[in-house]
Structure 1
């Protein structure tokens, strides 16, 4: 295996593990009475991330790695772990609101409303840049920006609905 393939295998494994964790947390949240929002855009978000990863496998497998960009990507993984740990069993890849539960305000959520999206935006740019794929990084960063506009809007609406239901109850 090339160094690039090892990096890509690790990222792929991480993403698959996260999907398993997210599915488990989603099932548990829904069983506790949580509501899902944003279902319509979710398949597009999954397709975007899958296309990014598949594209990297196709284009980057045998390319040299820029250690600075890869190092920054690794730092983002620590931030990703911080985000997931801060949300605990409420972390998921879907938009899930749990009635009568306050917003998480610990960890990176003390400083940013959407730290996970900051991490993802950095990852989508940095990993392709680590392989010298500037155009790929720009393309997927632009696509991700469009997705985040939809996603954050759907999240804001879900939180607003959840808060108004709590106040009305």
Structure 2
């Protein structure tokens, strides 16, 4: 009986590690819509407290506005988009390319969320996945959730997958 319990325990430890990365709370949204991204941070790095979360905003996610977080410093890095997008009848050519929350402390034994919202450009390809690479910094360590699967590669095969958002057809 004990060997079965050990096997079951090993299974759950193995599967929890696979699901212990930063993810998006809502993992699908229609193109052309406003999207509220909630990054779920389930743990620190190697038992150490999280002190910074940086997310790269992919092309096609425009007009991004992050939510301030008490106890954390919020900064954005802006830049030009690869092309011009239409938003409320106006051409948009630049905006937030990265959001950084830093200076806080999220102990390893606690969970938290980091939030921003933006618009998913109407010309993004429905059926594909948009990835938001995240770097999680901790006291003397870091986790880089930045891997994007190659064409035909299963996301579950990645060790440090970037959070992904499946793009649905426009409503």
- TM-score, length of structure 2 as denominator length: 0.23
- Between Structure 1 and Structure 2, the one with more helix by share is 1
